[in-house]
Amino acid sequence: MEENLIKATVEAIQLAVTNLPKDVVNAIKEAYEREESKIAKFNLENILKSIEISKSEKIPICQDTGTITFFVEAGIKNPYLSEIREILVEATKQATQKIPLRPNAVDILTNKNSGDNTGRFTPILHWELVDGDKIRIAVLPKGGGSENCSALAMLNPGEGFEGVKKFVIERVKECGGKPCPPIVLGIGIGGSADLALKLAKKSLLRPLGIRHENEKIAQLEKEILEEINSLGIGPMGMGGRTTALDVKIEYAHRHPASQPVGLIVQCWAHRKAFIEIDKEGSTKIWQ
Ligand code: SF4
């Protein structure tokens, strides 16, 4: 196996879990400026301090280092394609030891923790074959508390965008402070039940503050964000103007009889990093 690619992947996982990307930090700072209540400001200040400590001491941002999820855009002409799965699994094991990550992979039959964040279908891999000779991998470690608030609705197509809003807002209200707000919402509309949830999670990779290229979708993102921030749940569920930092939507064509809506709830610790592997095996890592 290519040791340099394993090493680069471990580095990307480490960067993701110890250093919150700029778009997320800036969104939290903006929320701090906007907040008026003392408790909301206090919570955001503590979150910002904690982010700084993790960065300078290279320690995980949260004790729950999440389930490691990779989105792989695999260029079909890249010579390392056949090894990528093994590389990502091995990197996850090594990252668990080195950083360290909390072991978060439990066998549902025995309830035993594998101890290294790997197991059946774990780490989670989403594949997309693309033209070209580059492999781009997004690392998205996802905490269990926020994931527990994720949900799927199979709406009647007649319910349209209003139905989407209603489902998302009701679910956010129901979860309150559980997913460690301020949250980021990923929403997938259309496709099938499985695709809606996959698109919802993938949409979280788009930088905060960047709207969808389709005007109607961008408008829906804005409207849902405003409505959620008017709920008053606030940072850590203790009241305030910022319940969500952003809302991201991705969509697909749907079956005439159904309108699936996948909702992935992400916490303020919105961790992500990216790696690119070229045909020579050189790597580039960024956030
Ligand atoms: S929801 Fe996020 S911030 Fe809260 S405990 Fe889980 S990973 Fe940590």
Q: How close is the Cα of 142 to the center of ligand 1, in Å?
A: 8
Ligand 1 pocket, mutate which of 46, 48, 267 (most atoms under 8 A from CB): 267
pLDDT single digits (tens) 232-270: 999 999 999 999 999 999 999 999 999 999 999 999 999
Residue numbers in the chain where pLDDT is lower than 70: 1
Does the CB atom of residue 61 touch ligand 1 within 6 A?
no
Predicted local distance difference test score (pLDDT) of residue 10: 98
Q: How close is the Cα of 258 to the center of ligand 1, in Å?
A: 33
Walk me through the domains of the chain, giving residue ranges and CATH numbers. 3-16+61-143+271-286 (3.30.1330), 145-266 (no CATH)
Predicted local distance difference test score (pLDDT) of residue 82: 95
Q: How close is the Cα of 134 to the center of ligand 1, in Å?
A: 33
One-letter amino acid for residue 97 of the chain: Q
Does the CB atom of residue 141 touch ligand 1 within 6 A?
no
Predicted local distance difference test score (pLDDT) of residue 1: 63
| Joined tokens for residue 260 | 């699936």
Ligand 1 pocket, mutate which of 48, 67, 180 (most atoms under 8 A from CB): 180
Q: How close is the Cα of 143 to the center of ligand 1, in Å?
A: 5
List, edge to edge, every strand of the sheet that includes 283-286: 124-130, 67-75, 135-142, 273-277, 283-286
Neighbours of 43 (CB within 10 A): 25
Neighbours of 32 (CB within 10 A): 18
Does the CB atom of residue 143 touch ligand 1 within 6 A?
yes
Does the CB atom of residue 269 touch ligand 1 within 6 A?
yes
| Joined tokens for residue 246 | 């952003």
Distance CA 62, CA 114 (A): 20
Predicted local distance difference test score (pLDDT) of residue 78: 97
Q: How close is the Cα of 248 to the center of ligand 1, in Å?
A: 19
Ligand 1 pocket, mutate which of 17, 59, 62 (most atoms under 8 A from CB): 62
Distance CA 200, CA 265 (A): 9
Distance CA 7, CA 87 (A): 9
Asked if 140 and 84 touch (Cβ cutoff 8 Å), the reply is no
Does the CB atom of residue 139 touch ligand 1 within 6 A?
no
